[in-house]
Amino acid sequence: MYKYIFGPVPSRRLGVSLGVDLVMSKTCNLNCIYCECGSTTKFYNRRDSYIDIDRLIEEVKDILQNLTPDYITFSGSGEPTLNKDLGMIIREIRKIYSGKIAVITNSTLLNDSDVREALEEADLIIPSLDAISEDIFEKINRPIEGLHAKNILDGMTKFLSETKKEVYLEIFIVEGINDGDEELKKFVEYLKDKKVTVIQLNTLARPGATEDIKPASMKRLTEIKDFFESHNLNSVEIIKKYTSREEFPKYSEKLEELILNMLSKRKYSIYEMVELLQRGEVELFKYLNILQKEGKVKIVIENDQIYIKN
């Protein structure tokens, strides 16, 4: 039984991703209304040594005997940068693993130069930024006392100007809270001179920490994407999964039929499907997520690869 690692999970963004939890459940300095881990139980803003590093390294060594993930990803049930040993842990893992390392962070500690230094040890950083205005930040991220939107923006600005690594900046959209025109203009104003690899628009897929919030519709996310692009923010993508055919603008029943027909004979790796169907991985995952939700296909990891079977 592993204590600190979870997965692997098949991910369109990260391929086969092995998760590492660097704080114990659920330690965070935010209590986001959309958090899939539920409400924050340990409200901390202090960097500390939360885990037994020797045990973590043993667990990673053990799982790597049977698996070579595309990414080891620091995320889990709390904020990984609250672990003050983050940089050292990444360096230790690099001694036993040659693949890529990603860190998913809520960006609250980017003002701290030690945190920025630790993040540079990773290959990919996925920081979130859900609000520019203080009142919206309070509503959506519900921070620990003393933490303000301005702290995050200052830290983010420093981080983005210094980092040499890939950055997928994630904005989590909650309809009626951070998707108003004024806030979107503020996002554009803030992001227009920042360098990121891609801006990813996400929304709720599962119940969050509170029940009364609504995921943004695909239509609204597309409008936001178009708005950002019309203001010269490049590389904006929607990472919400399609959950129904109606949401999918150009859903091809023919392609769905082809996918199901292929899978009735045998399982295929995602790469084989891309090659045989002459469609990109992103597009195929849209179909596969819908079919998986309906129980018609399974997306699994076997021999370090993502396979699709029925």
Positions touching ligand SF4 (CB under 6 A) are: 28, 30-32, 35, 37, 40, 78-79, 106
Q: How far is the CB of 48 from ligand SF4 (least distance, A)?
A: 16
Q: Which residue, 10 or 78, has its beta carbon nearer to ligand SF4?
A: 78
Q: Which residue, 69 or 78, has its beta carbon nearer to ligand SF4?
A: 78
Q: How far is the CB of 106 from ligand SF4 (least distance, A)?
A: 3
Nearby residues of 220 by Cβ (< 8 Å), 6 or more positions away = 173, 175, 179
Nearby residues of 299 by Cβ (< 8 Å), 6 or more positions away = 10, 288, 292, 306, 307, 308
Q: Which residue, 83 or 308, has its beta carbon nearer to ligand SF4?
A: 83
Distance CA 140, CA 30 (A): 9
Q: Which residue, 8 or 78, has its beta carbon nearer to ligand SF4?
A: 78
The one-letter code for the residue type at 134 is E
Cα(first)–Cα(last) distance of the chain, in Å?
Answer: 29
Q: Which residue, 35 or 291, has its beta carbon nearer to ligand SF4?
A: 35
Distance CA 239, CA 289 (A): 12
- Bridge partner residues of 170 (DSSP): 128, 200
DSSP 174: B
Q: Which residue, 10 or 208, has its beta carbon nearer to ligand SF4?
A: 208
Return the H-helix or E-strand segment holding 142: none
Q: List, as own/partner pairs, every contact residues 283-290 make where C-beta atoms lie below 8 angstroms and the sequence separation is at least 24, other chains included.
A: 284/259, 285/12, 285/241, 286/241, 286/242, 286/248, 287/255, 287/256, 287/259, 288/259, 289/241, 289/242, 289/243, 290/242, 290/243, 290/244, 290/245, 290/248
Q: How far is the CB of 23 from ligand SF4 (least distance, A)?
A: 9
Q: How far is the CB of 237 from ligand SF4 (least distance, A)?
A: 20
Distance CA 141, CA 264 (A): 45
Q: How far is the CB of 80 from ligand SF4 (least distance, A)?
A: 9
Distance CA 220, CA 31 (A): 25
Q: How far is the CB of 164 from ligand SF4 (least distance, A)?
A: 25
Q: Which residue, 99 or 155, has its beta carbon nearer to ligand SF4?
A: 155
Q: How far is the CB of 247 from ligand SF4 (least distance, A)?
A: 24
> Which has the closest alpha carbon to 29: 117, 109, 127?
109
> Which has the closest alpha carbon to 3: 26, 27, 28, 20?
20
Residue 145 exposed, middle or buried by CB count within 10 Å (0-12, 13-18, 19+): exposed
Q: Which residue, 38 or 280, has its beta carbon nearer to ligand SF4?
A: 38
